[in-house]
Amino acid sequence: MPPKTKARESIVEKETTLDQSSVTVGTALQVNDSVAIDCDSSGPTPITKLDKSCGVGTADIKKLQEAGFCTVESIAFAPRKTLLAVKGISDAKADKLAAEAAKLVPMGFTTATEYHQKRSEIIQLTTGSRELDKQLQGGFETGSITELYGEYRCGKSQLCHQVAVTCQLPIDMGGGEGKAIYIDTEGSFRPERLLAIAERYGLSGHDVLDNIAYARAYNTDHQIQLLYMATAMMCESRYAVLIVDSSTSLFRTDYSGRGELANRQMQLAKFMRMLLRITDEV
């Protein structure tokens, strides 16, 4: 690994029934030290690496991509039953996929020394606030899930906008030198905020906006589908942060009433697990 690494992070804003919210942060990708944001990356392994030379056909790869498997890591980390749920994937194909993915993705034991070295490469993304960075010991730690919550209108969305800009800063300024993905479930995304923040850091407003991929989620199924799309995008370019503002809002409206509580929690847990999987994959 290069001496300096960068990481993608997931930032998820969640709201509780008491008008509180949470923000979850976790790494997504380590990339080389470079001021320019380009498409080369040392992070996730595209699923296309499992080509015919590995005994996996193009048709099978397409089926897996349609099911949300965009990286070799996603295949390696998936339970066998999840692979079997993909249309056209038989028992034999599932075993073959798992075996070939395991050859490309280290999944065995490692020494504590090696893991310590990996931990030493973790960086923190600045929140834009010295006091908050101090409380977080430098900012949002990559490679982990951090939850932030607060009362209504306490600045959670503002923090999301802030990190969407600061993630584009150089590493020595507390950034990740990467792009941002922003999934908006409540219509709170405001580009004019981003321009003001960019001006504060002396960044080009035009470049900052171009480096943020935005999508509005209209229901929980759409929200999950956008997460699949985000995973695919991370294989094609360098993204430093994934923001979902907020993660629970649509679940609370799409699954209302006590009768749907169990299903709501199950679907929400699935969504959060997908975010965690992204941090492991890329």
- Is omega for the bond preceding 246 within 30 degrees of 0, making it cis? yes
What gap in Å lies between CA 184 and CA 245, rounded to an integer? 5
pLDDT at residue 7, as a whole number: 46
Question: Residue 85 is encoded by which pair of tokens?
Answer: 């749920």
Dist. CA 134–CA 198, nearest whole Å: 22
What is the full per-residue pLDDT of the chain (282 aa) written as tens digits?
A: 444 444 455 555 554 444 444 443 443 333 233 333 444 445 678 888 887 656 678 888 888 888 888 888 889 999 999 999 998 888 988 998 888 888 888 888 999 999 999 888 877 899 999 999 999 888 987 766 777 777 888 888 999 999 999 999 999 999 988 899 999 999 999 999 999 999 999 999 999 999 999 999 999 999 999 998 998 888 888 888 899 988 888 999 999 888 899 999 999 998 988 888 888 776
Give residue 118's pLDDT. 85
pTM for the predicted model, two decimal places: 0.80
Helix residue ranges per DSSP H, 125-260: 130-135, 156-166, 191-200, 205-210, 220-236, 249-254
Q: What is d(CA 106, CA 41) in angstroms, rounded to the nearest whole number?
A: 18
DSSP character string of 56-100: --HHHHHHHHHTT--BHHHHHHS-HHHHHTSTT--HHHHHHHHHH
Q: Report pLDDT for 278.
A: 84
* Backbone Cα Rg of the chain: 19
251-272 burial code (b ≥16 CB/10 A, e <16): beeebeeeeeeeebeebbeebb
**Domains, the chain, with CATH or none:** 47-104 (1.10.150.20), 121-281 (3.40.50.300)
Phi and psi at residue 73, to the nearest 5°: -60, -40
pLDDT computed for residue 257 by the predictor: 85
User: Using CA atoms, how far apart are residues 166 and 175, in angstroms rounded to an integer?
Assistant: 5
What is the model's pLDDT at position 6?
46
**H or E stretch including 13?**
strand 9-15
